[in-house]
Structure 1
Amino acid sequence: GFQGDTLGTPGLMAACAKHFVGYGASEDGKDYQTTWIPEPELRNTYLPPFKAAVDAGVATIMSAFNDLNGIPTSGNELTLNQILRKEWRFGGFVVSDWESVTQMITHGYCVNEKEAAIKAIRAGVDMEMVSKSYLNNLEQLVAEGKVSVSRIDDAVRRILRVKFRMGLFNQPYADTTQRSLIFSPDHLAVARRVVQQSVVLLKNDQQLLPLSRDIRKIAIIGPLADAPADQMGCWVFDGRPGDVITPLKAFTDSMGNNRVIYASGLRSSRDTSDAGFAQALAAARSADAVLLFAGEESVLSGEARCRAFLDLPGIQDRLINAVAATGKPLVLVVMAGRPLTFEKAAAKARAILYAWHPGTMGGPGIYDLVFGYAAPSAKLTITIPRTIGQVPIYYCHKNTGRPPIEKAFGIPTGTPQNPIGYNSNFLDVSVTPCYPFGFGLTYTQFEYSDIALADTSLSLNDTLLVSATVRNTGTRTADEVIQLYIRDMAASLIRPVRELKGFQKFAIEPGQQKRVVFKLPVYELGFYNNENKFLVEPGRFTVWVSAHSADDRLKAEFRIE
């Protein structure tokens, strides 16, 4: 990672875990927005990633912009003092987000800058970013007895401790005489492999991909096929578009100009003019296959780039429809910084690669996947909805008393007195996602079988041992990410219908199989109850070994006594 095993290692830096905490649960999905998270949900869902970072030795934590249950997180004593310092014994320092201390005034939590400084320092913010409420007020607050000298000492000690561990008092400046490793061949090779392993294959009808390397001509179409700045994504202030290898450049360099026909079709992802359609359609008709690069440019993604609609921007849907109508095999490559709703466009393509904003080596990495020099292995770490009305949609939801019926939508046939069809469904769309969490295809097929438990009755100090066989029934070697899910079938708090508890990745050759073993301590099946006590309750559990969160092929049951 950024920090490595030892602070102060040359070339590494102090990592910062952010934004603490609940920032991903903002109302209506907007940045900086209110969050309301009951404490058991906070402890069971939102705090564990930060706890894992603290256990791994992260040097710093950043408090967030949002308020949490009515208290801004930069003045929240529960999260910063009680949980982070007392319960987790975090030894690094807490830094505020950009002006988040003085923004507590705007929240309506503090009257003025002086009160903001009091609440932030008491809550556990050691370093204030950008705003100057500490600089302007702490000395006076100490003199007035409103902030203790011991608290100032604690904040200073925490900051200096990290600096000492980093070696900044021995070597305060970077050694500028050393050769820069930026864009070194080794680093570019790693960036290329990262693309190969992070692009998700969502669809591959009739095994269109990989394309034959002897293909006569391909058409490269779309506003993001040759957009180097957009390919880098957001928050790349020092990024250099000139060093980015786009898909157009990668394919042209590898295949030659005479085998690649390019037409952008649209000037940008937001373009609403179809003036470029004719050239794009001519390119498609002249080719043996089409790669259409759609999605959203980087300016639409990242901080303060919230969208009320998640459709493909502009008239990209129209471009996709027009190109698909030529009848040429269509590979849709989606480059975006978030999950988009593109179900209708997906139906027009024979193959779909979700490439995110793949960075400097995005073009070569995608080229490798399209022609089979590498096989896709990535799985979705989010859920892709069919439509914005399904949001929030996530795999680890709770069940209801009237759970949804898959593939059932439309007006129920029953009545309140005879509630046939009165389930938690939509009238106009399936309740299932377009693509579920953990989903991802590759260029072969895997068969899951023979799940076995070492013991079906366990006690608190035991470890659950689950094994299963995964066999490559296809014709290509590929990696498979094998996932372990569990469900607590009845508990004092309703538990999610599935929880990911582990995953393993293996390369399996054609005709070969792998016996996969998961070891899960029973302790990890516990949760925080309404009294915020962590406990493991006895009862019945279901366990799945799966290719993704909606895969129901292989499951077993066990009990905790």
Structure 2
Amino acid sequence: MTEHLYNKYVKNMTLEEKIAQLLQLAAPFYDEPGDHSEITGPMEELGIQSETVRNAGSVLGVAGAAKMMAVQKAHLANNRLGIPLLFMADIVHGFKTIFPIPLAIGSSWNPELAKQSAEIAAREAAVSGLHVTFAPMVDLIRDPRWGRVMESTGEDPYLNGVFAKAFVQGFQGDDLAGDTSRVAACVKHFAAYGAAEGGRDYNTVDLSERQLREYYLPAYKKALDAGAEMVMTSFNIVDGVPATGNRKLLRDLLRGEWGFEGVIISDWASIKEMVAHGAAEDDKEAAFKAIRAGVDIDMMTTSYLHHLPELVDEGLVDEAWIDEAVLRILRLKEKLGLFDNPMRGADPVREKEIVYSAEHRQAARKLAEKSCVLLKNEGVLPLRGEQRVALIGPFADSGDILGWWSWTGSKETAVKLSDAMRAVTDNPDQLMVAAGSGVDSITDTQKEEALIAAAGADVIVLAVGESSHMSGEGGSRTNIRLPDAQLELIRLMKGLGKPVAIVLFNGRPLDLHGVYDQADAVLEAWFPGSEGGAALADLLYGKVNPSGRLTMSFPNSVGQVPVYYNSFSTGRPKPAVEDENRYVSKYIDSPNEPLLPFGYGLSYTTFAYEGLTLSSDTIKEDQPLEVKVRVTNTGRMSGTETVQLYVRDISGEVVRPVKELKDFRQLELAPGESSEVIFFLEEKQLRYHHSDLSLSSDRGQFQVYAGGNSRDVQTAGFRLLK
């Protein structure tokens, strides 16, 4: 497959043409498609010549079928060898039809809906001219201060892997060349970006290799096993070396050990940033380290462009490294069918029919319904159609419900909560709406309007949260409580003595002081996407029963962070029953446990677990263990329960987590209905990385847990025999 590409293209390319293939330029470089005979503005400032633009390999952020086709046509008219451009963009959770943020999608515990969301995003992106999406982000996350937790599916390596596979399959399908409604997936950020110290974006990561392999690498591997065509390097260091120049990470592990043959791309300017890291003296050394490590595409710097020629002349860079990188890029272009069809998928007519279609919006609405998590409910929800409701808060009538990574979405056309609730309630005149405050400001006038709206209400619904700019890239926060203005609004409404239900819009788990304790009900909406308001109205009025479950723990306070369910015990664990012993591992001013644990979520009905049984009290390599548990809907409404299976290795060669998710099932149960759930636990699911980094299991005692979250479980024991 590669030989003909080498003979037709690489063999006939000058060194400068090869290096240009490794360059990715942003959309402004192509604002005026043409021959680029006159270089001005940002290109001139970066020292980019017209010849380079004519030979560049890929472009970032051009969207729209007509624009893409014009750029591609002009490029091919001026490219000596007729090599088409690759068009790439961040299509993280939707193109024009915006789905809930990935952290919310994870909370659906529904990989099939996740796959469908990626398929729809790909369909809209492809018809608009894009070939590659910089998604999925599969970074394991344990620190809600980090703004980019919104892009991940949570704190568990197994569940992240399940969703990584689903997203890749949705984006890519089975035949990238034949199915022009799909796009290539670029898994990111390799590796361990989610472990940034202090939850501060771009910050230091310091992990043992064993911890890296055990918890942070599995989801990347699942994405690659599913066929992801590209990998994006992370901004952080790994074992003291920036990922973008980390030969051990990229050439040895990713390419050598895992056998990845696809394209590696730097994150934005991360090659040049090795200088700021202190890992390169200048851009020249940064270019050397990146190409040596195996980075194929330099996103938005000129490090390769300006320095690879002299590095080759000096004998420091083998031109074969550059040839390999060019071949990988050309191979991806061939897989996408671009040599035969440079305009692949782009169609201005079909674009108008497909993008933001009613069918796509309905799918976004369904996923939003499944992603929202009911955190608390003391009989307030669901609302009744005849109730007089005051909807108050900065998100009551706001379109800022898409999240940070929604650059092609439209806040103006997103379904607002106020409009959707008017459509659902029996009498729209019984819905009173007021802002009550801004996101981070409050005035006497706003407070007065809120009091007037609430005066005649039977129940108050407060729509509060973070603006989209308070999370996402560069959105790290040390204070993850709601802004003081909104906490004041909550206290004001609580003081009226009426039932208060709070709807939260946010991109991370929050410290819910002043929220959880003040509310009679709390519904976690996240950033629910284009159809968010419609989904929330149906949930609030009971037309849909909440079924979301958290995939990231909510702390009691930011001082506990990182707090996560699959932690280790200590030599002095805190006892289950609190006592006065000071000398155990605990805080003296806070519980050790999170406020809301991994896997947690309520419903408008209730579920009971009973009869956890094992097929044997032992397990062997060739003898799986059958785990059964009976689940009954004990309430008055049909509902979905997510049955979760956890295991603990009581004694390992290295210490093991107190619980690890191994499997899950979702059940639809009518009132009074029971179902027996059967899991099959195999020896390979008990393997882990030992101190020598080998992957194996240890004989001995294990505990198995089944329940509706990681805290509230039934338990039984078994032994692994070897």
- TM-score normalised according to structure 2 size: 0.74
The amino acid that maps onto 1:356 is: W
The amino acid that maps onto 1:315 is: A
Residue 406 of structure 1 contacts residue 430 of structure 1 at CA under 8 Å; is this kept in 2? no
Give the secondary-structure state (helix, strand or coil) at the position aligned to 2:322. Answer: helix
Deviation at 1:518, TM superposition (A): 1.4
Render the CA deviation track for 1:490-511: whole Å, top value 9, x for unaligned: 0111011011111111111111
Aligned to 1:261: 432
Aligned to 1:440: 601
If asked which structure has higher relative contact order (CA below 8 Å, sep 6+), I would say 2
Deviation at 1:248, TM superposition (A): 0.8
Deviation at 1:94, TM superposition (A): 0.6
Structure-2 separation of matches of 1:36 and 1:66:
9
The amino acid that maps onto 1:175 is: D
Does residue 3 (structure 1) correspond to residue 172 (structure 2)? The answer is: yes
Aligned to 1:295: 465
Structure-2 separation of matches of 1:96 and 1:180:
35
Structure-1 separation of matches of 2:333 and 2:444:
56
Match of 1:488 among 640, 646, 649: 649
Aligned to 2:448: 278
Pair 155,381 (structure 1): closer, same or farther in 2 beyond 3 Å: same
Deviation at 1:372, TM superposition (A): 1.1
Deviation at 1:184, TM superposition (A): 1.1
The 5 Å alignment of 1:374-453 reads: 374-405=544-575, 408=578, 413=580, 420-453=581-614
Aligned to 2:370: 197
Render the CA deviation track for 1:512-542: whole Å, top value 9, x for unaligned: 1111111232112111122111121111111
Deviation at 1:152, TM superposition (A): 1.7
Pair 22,293 (structure 1): closer, same or farther in 2 beyond 3 Å: same
The 5 Å alignment of 1:191-230 reads: 191-206=364-379, 208-215=380-387, 217-228=388-399, 230=400
Deviation at 1:346, TM superposition (A): 1.0
Structure-1 separation of matches of 2:718 and 2:454:
52
Residue 285 of structure 1 contacts residue 328 of structure 1 at CA under 8 Å; is this kept in 2? no
Aligned to 2:156: none
Render the CA deviation track for 1:389-414: whole Å, top value 9, x for unaligned: 01010001000011124574xxx85x
The amino acid that maps onto 1:221 is: I
Residue 389 of structure 2 contacts residue 432 of structure 2 at CA under 8 Å; is this kept in 1? yes
Give the secondary-structure state (helix, strand or coil) at the position aligned to 2:189. Answer: strand
Aligned to 2:32: none
Render the CA deviation track for 1:245-298: whole Å, top value 9, x for unaligned: 1101111233354111011110x2111434311221221221111110111111
Give the secondary-structure state (helix, strand or coil) at the position aligned to 1:180. Answer: helix
Aligned to 1:180: 353
Does residue 44 (structure 1) correspond to residue 209 (structure 2)? The answer is: no
Residue 617 of structure 2 contacts residue 717 of structure 2 at CA under 8 Å; is this kept in 1? no
Give the secondary-structure state (helix, strand or coil) at the position aligned to 1:344. Answer: coil
Aligned to 1:64: 234
The 10-residue stretch of structure 1 (32-41 or 336-345) with the greater mean CA deviation from structure 2:
336-345
The amino acid that maps onto 2:268 is: W
Residue 391 of structure 2 contacts residue 418 of structure 2 at CA under 8 Å; is this kept in 1? yes
The 10-residue stretch of structure 1 (144-153 or 292-301) with the greater mean CA deviation from structure 2:
144-153
The amino acid that maps onto 2:371 is: S
Render the CA deviation track for 1:330-359: whole Å, top value 9, x for unaligned: 111010001111133212211110000111
Give the secondary-structure state (helix, strand or coil) at the position aligned to 1:238. Answer: coil
Does residue 539 (structure 1) correspond to residue 700 (structure 2)? The answer is: yes
Deviation at 1:154, TM superposition (A): 1.8
Residue 424 of structure 2 contacts residue 541 of structure 2 at CA under 8 Å; is this kept in 1? no
The amino acid that maps onto 2:370 is: Q
Deviation at 1:11, TM superposition (A): 2.0
Does residue 124 (structure 1) correspond to residue 265 (structure 2)? The answer is: no
Pair 139,537 (structure 1): closer, same or farther in 2 beyond 3 Å: same
Render the CA deviation track for 1:208-241: whole Å, top value 9, x for unaligned: 21112232x111000111120x211112222212
Structure-2 separation of matches of 1:538 and 1:406:
27
Give the secondary-structure state (helix, strand or coil) at the position aligned to 1:282. Answer: helix
Residue 451 of structure 1 contacts residue 556 of structure 1 at CA under 8 Å; is this kept in 2? no
The 5 Å alignment of 1:497-508 reads: 497-508=658-669
Residue 407 of structure 1 contacts residue 431 of structure 1 at CA under 8 Å; is this kept in 2? no
Structure-2 separation of matches of 1:282 and 1:405:
50
TM-align CA RMSD = 1.5
Residue 312 of structure 1 contacts residue 342 of structure 1 at CA under 8 Å; is this kept in 2? yes
Render the CA deviation track for 1:97-138: whole Å, top value 9, x for unaligned: 000001001100011111111111111211110011111122
Pair 214,560 (structure 1): closer, same or farther in 2 beyond 3 Å: farther
Structure-2 separation of matches of 1:306 and 1:167:
40
The 5 Å alignment of 1:362-373 reads: 362-373=532-543
Match of 1:318 among 475, 479, 488: 488
Structure-2 separation of matches of 1:381 and 1:445:
20
Aligned to 1:416: none
Aligned residues: 548
Give the secondary-structure state (helix, strand or coil) at the position aligned to 1:347. Answer: coil
Give the secondary-structure state (helix, strand or coil) at the position aligned to 1:349. Answer: coil
Structure-2 separation of matches of 1:274 and 1:439:
38
- TM-score normalised according to structure 1 size: 0.95
Structure-2 separation of matches of 1:79 and 1:302:
26
Deviation at 1:557, TM superposition (A): 3.0
Give the secondary-structure state (helix, strand or coil) at the position aligned to 1:486. Answer: strand
Identity %: 39
The 10-residue stretch of structure 1 (43-52 or 87-96) with the greater mean CA deviation from structure 2:
87-96
Aligned to 2:631: 470
Structure-2 separation of matches of 1:387 and 1:156:
50
The 10-residue stretch of structure 1 (445-454 or 196-205) with the greater mean CA deviation from structure 2:
445-454
The 10-residue stretch of structure 1 (283-292 or 488-497) with the greater mean CA deviation from structure 2:
283-292
Deviation at 1:151, TM superposition (A): 1.8
The 10-residue stretch of structure 1 (476-485 or 251-260) with the greater mean CA deviation from structure 2:
251-260
Give the secondary-structure state (helix, strand or coil) at the position aligned to 1:152. Answer: helix
Tell me, which stretches of 5 or more residues in structure 1 are unaligned? 414-419
Does residue 83 (structure 1) correspond to residue 216 (structure 2)? The answer is: no
The 10-residue stretch of structure 1 (478-487 or 169-178) with the greater mean CA deviation from structure 2:
169-178
Structure-2 separation of matches of 1:403 and 1:347:
28
Residue 628 of structure 2 contacts residue 676 of structure 2 at CA under 8 Å; is this kept in 1? yes
Residue 545 of structure 1 contacts residue 555 of structure 1 at CA under 8 Å; is this kept in 2? no
Give the secondary-structure state (helix, strand or coil) at the position aligned to 1:343. Answer: coil
Pair 425,55 (structure 1): closer, same or farther in 2 beyond 3 Å: same
Structure-1 separation of matches of 2:245 and 2:508:
30
Residue 95 of structure 1 contacts residue 128 of structure 1 at CA under 8 Å; is this kept in 2? yes
The amino acid that maps onto 1:93 is: V
Structure-2 separation of matches of 1:469 and 1:560:
27
Residue 619 of structure 2 contacts residue 718 of structure 2 at CA under 8 Å; is this kept in 1? no
Structure-1 separation of matches of 2:421 and 2:701:
54
Match of 1:17 among 175, 187, 196: 187
Aligned to 2:327: 157
Give the secondary-structure state (helix, strand or coil) at the position aligned to 1:234. Answer: coil
